[in-house]
Amino acid sequence: MRIALAVLRRDRRSQVATVLVALGVMIAVSLVLWLVAAPNGLQARADRTAWRDVVGQSDKGAISVAMNRDSYDGKLIERFDVARNEQGGIKVAAGITKFPEAGEVLLSPALADLVRTTPAEKLGNRFPGRLIGELGPEALKFPGELVAIIGHDKVENGFPAPGLEGGSGSYRDDYHGMLYLLTRVGLVVLVVPCLVLVASAARLTAAKRERRLAALRLAGASPRQVVIMTAVETAIGAVAGSVLGVVLAQPFSHITAKVPWEGGTWYPGDFVPAPAVVAAVAVLAPVLVITAAIMGLRRVVNRPLSAEEKRKVRSWRLLTIAGAMGVFFLGILYAQEAGGDSQFTVVLLGLGAVAFALVLAGPVLTAWVGRFFVGRWRTPSTLLAGRRLSGDPVAAFRGSAGVVIAVFTGSMALTMLPGLESQVPYRDGTWNENAIVAEQVTHDVTPLRLATSAPIVTMLEGKVSTGDKSDDGSYVIVGRCADVAELLTGLTCRPGPAVYASAPLQGDVFESMGPHDSVTAKLPAQYETRPFEGTSRVQVVVDADLLPTMAGKVSMVGVPTTPENRDAVHTALIGTLPGVRLVDGELRELWGSTLMDDLQRATVIGLSIAAVLGGIGAAVSAAGSVIDRRRTFGALIAAGTPIRVLGHALRREVMLPVFAVTLAACGAGIVVGLGLLTLARGLVGHGEMPITPWVVAPVGVGLVVALVAALACGPVLRGISPRDYAAE
C-alpha cells in the first residue's frame, strides 16, 4: 500500500489516470442513477393519478364516471364527468377536496386560470357548475396539467367506480409501456460507453504499470502484494468518482425533471432513486472497476516476463454476435407472450449481449483491417497503423468500443422511429378537417340545437349482415347523404336514396350499434349502390330514407365548423352532451404530436449522451496509447520519423477499425431495431416497419466523432521527444 501511495504522489501520469478514472466513474454513477430513477418518476405519476384507474373495474359502483380527452388552443385537457349512484360518503384521493355533486366543478389550477382568462363560450361553458375548489398536486400527473371533474345528476356514458380514491397505480399503461422499455434500453446501451470510458481511463498508464508490477514480481513481490497495489491505485479514483456521482445525481435529477413527457414536466421529487438503489450503485461501481483492474493482472502475476507480449484474438469471438442475436430474438418471442414487469427482462439481456458481442468481436475485425493494410500499404503512416492494428488489436480497438456502441444505438433508434411514427394516432382521414363528431351519443340532442347555430348532423352507426349470428356484416353509417357528406371525407352524393359503397352489400338486415339497445330493420328489396371508396373507418354509407323505421335514432352527432366558431361548437358539444367522446382531428394530432415529440426528444438525448461518452472514451484511449508508447514514439522520432507521419498513423489507427466495426454495428442496430419495433407493434397493436436511408447516418457521425477523438492525441504526441526514449 505504501508503494502504491508513493507512486500516486510522485508519478504525474498515474495522477492523471486516477483523476480520469474518478471522472469516468462519476459520469457512470450519475448516468445509471438517472436512468434507474425513471421508473420512480413514472411510479410517482401513476400513484398521483391512481384515482383515474378505478373506473370500470367492477359492474357496480357508488358513482359513474365518463373519462374523455379534450383540447383547447393546442393544449390537452383531461375531463371526468361524474355522477352519484347511491347515497353516502364517496372516498376521494389526496388532492381532491371533495366529491363534486351535481352542479359543482373541480379544476386544476392551470385550467382554472385558463378558464378565468378565456371567454366562457369558448371554454368555460364546457364545465357547467360552481367551482368548489382546485385540484392539488397530489392528484395531478405533472405541474400545469389541465384536469376537470364535473358533477352531474346522471352521466349517460359513464362507467361504474367505487369512488375517486387513490392508491398505487400502474405506470406501465402510459404510452403502452413505451417509456418503461426506453429507459431500460437506455440503461443497457448507455452504460456500455460509460464502462468503456472508465476502462480507457484506467488503461491510460497500463503499459507502464504492467512493467512496474512485473519488475516488482521479479524482485520478490507476492501475487497478493501486487493485487493490493493495483487495488489501492484504482480504488482511490473509483471511490472518489462514486461519491461525486452520488452527490451530482441530486441536482441532475432536478434538471431531468424539466424534460417533458406526456405533455408536461415532472415534480422535483419524482426523479429520485430509492436509497437502497443509490447505495447499491455507489458500492457496485468501484467494486466493478477494482475487479476489472485486478482481472487484468493475470498475466503479470502468473508470467511477469511476458508482460510486454501482445494478446492474440481468436475468430470465435465473431460467433458471439450470432449467439447474442439468438438470445435477443428469443427474448422478443417471450415478451410477446408474457406480461408483467419481467416481460422485457430477456429482451434487455439479449440487447446487452448484442452490445457486449460487438465489443468482443471488434478486435477480430481490427486485426483483419490491420493485416489488409499491411499487405497493401502505400504510405509509411498506413504501414505503421496497419502494424499497430494487426500487432495489438485489443488495445487498438479499445478506444473505438464506445463509438461502436453509439453507432449501434443510433442505427437502432433510427430504425425504430419511423415505425413508431406510423403507430402514433395522428388524424386518420375519416372526417373532414373542419368536422367535430361526437360518438356514443345517448342524449337528447335538442339542447345542442339550441346551444349553437351551426348545422347539426345526426347519424346512426350499425352493421348490415345476412342476419346469421356468425356473420359479422359490414360496418355502416346511416344518415342523410347530403348532410353526412359535410363531415365524411370523399363522399359525393346524388339525388335519391342509395347505398354508397365500393361493392354491393352482402345481406339486407341492419342492426344498430352503440351504447343504447340495438334495433334492427330491413333494407328494401331493391336499391341503388353508388361508388364510394370509403375511408379508414367508414366503408359504407346508407341513406336514411332507405331505413325509415330508424328515423330519430341517433348514436353519432357531427358538426361542420369554421375557424371562427370551432371553439364555440366544441364547447356546445361538450356542455350539452356530457360524457361523450369527441372525434376531433385537432385532438388526435395534439396527442400524436406530443407522443412523437417525446420519443424524438428521448432519442436525441440518449444518442447525444452515447456519442459524447463514446468520443471522450476514444480520445482518452488514443491519448493513453500515445503515453503507453512514449518509448516507441521517442525511438521513431530519434530515427528521423516526422511528427506529421506519426500523427497520420495515429489517426488511421483510430479511424480504420471504427469504419470497419461501425458497419457491423450499424447492421446489428438495424436488426435489433426491427426486433424492438415488432415488440412495440405488439404493445400498440398496429403500425408499419419502414426503413429509411437515415439508418446509416450514425456511421458517418461515428467516423466524425472518432476523427475528433484522434485529433485530441496530437498535443500528447507533440510533447514526445527523443529524450523520452533515453529516459525509458
- Read off the pLDDT of each residue in 497-524 and give the average, rounded to a whole number: 88
The yes-or-no verdict on residue 132 having pLDDT over 90 is: yes
- Read off the pLDDT of each residue in 156-161 and give the average, rounded to a whole number: 82
The yes-or-no verdict on residue 297 having pLDDT over 60 is: yes
Q: Which amino acid, one-letter code, is at 499?
A: V
Specify the pLDDT at position 652: 85
For residues 361 and 489, give the distance between their C-alpha atoms in angstroms, rounded to a whole number. 55
b/e per residue, 661-672, with b = 16+ CB within 10 A?
A: bbebbbebbbbb
More confident call, 451 vs 691: 451
The yes-or-no verdict on residue 149 having pLDDT over 80 is: yes
Confidence band, pLDDT 50/70/90 cuts, at residue 340: low
For residues 412 and 361, give the distance between their C-alpha atoms in angstroms, rounded to a whole number. 19
Q: Dump pLDDT digits (tens) for 426-465.
A: 666 788 888 999 988 888 888 888 888 889 999 999 999 9
Q: Dump pLDDT digits (tens) for 367-382.
A: 998 888 888 888 888 8
Grid cell locating 142: 405533472
Q: DSSP letters along 664-694, please?
A: HHHHHHHHHHHHHHHHHHHHHS-------GG
Q: Report which listed range, 163-172, 231-240, 288-297, 713-722, is most confident.
A: 231-240
The yes-or-no verdict on residue 39 having pLDDT over 50 is: yes
Q: Which amino acid, one-letter code, is at 617?
A: G
Q: Contact at 8 Å (CB) between 503 and 566? A: no
pLDDT > 70 fraction of the chain, expressed in percent and rounded: 88
The yes-or-no verdict on residue 329 having pLDDT over 80 is: yes
Q: Dump pLDDT digits (tens) for 549-590.
A: 998 889 999 999 998 888 889 888 888 888 888 887 677 777
Specify the pLDDT at position 686: 45
Write down the domain spans for the chain. Answer: 1-46+178-307, 50-168, 435-584
The yes-or-no verdict on residue 669 having pLDDT over 60 is: yes
The yes-or-no verdict on residue 176 having pLDDT over 60 is: no
Q: Report which listed range, 51-60, 90-99, 166-175, 270-279, is most confident.
A: 90-99
Q: Which residue has the cell 415488440?
A: 679
For residues 307 and 543, give the distance between their C-alpha atoms in angstroms, rounded to a whole number. 89
Specify the pLDDT at position 689: 57
The yes-or-no verdict on residue 399 having pLDDT over 80 is: no
The yes-or-no verdict on residue 58 having pLDDT over 70 is: no
The yes-or-no verdict on residue 200 having pLDDT over 80 is: no
Specify the pLDDT at position 687: 47
Mean pLDDT, all residues of the chain: 82
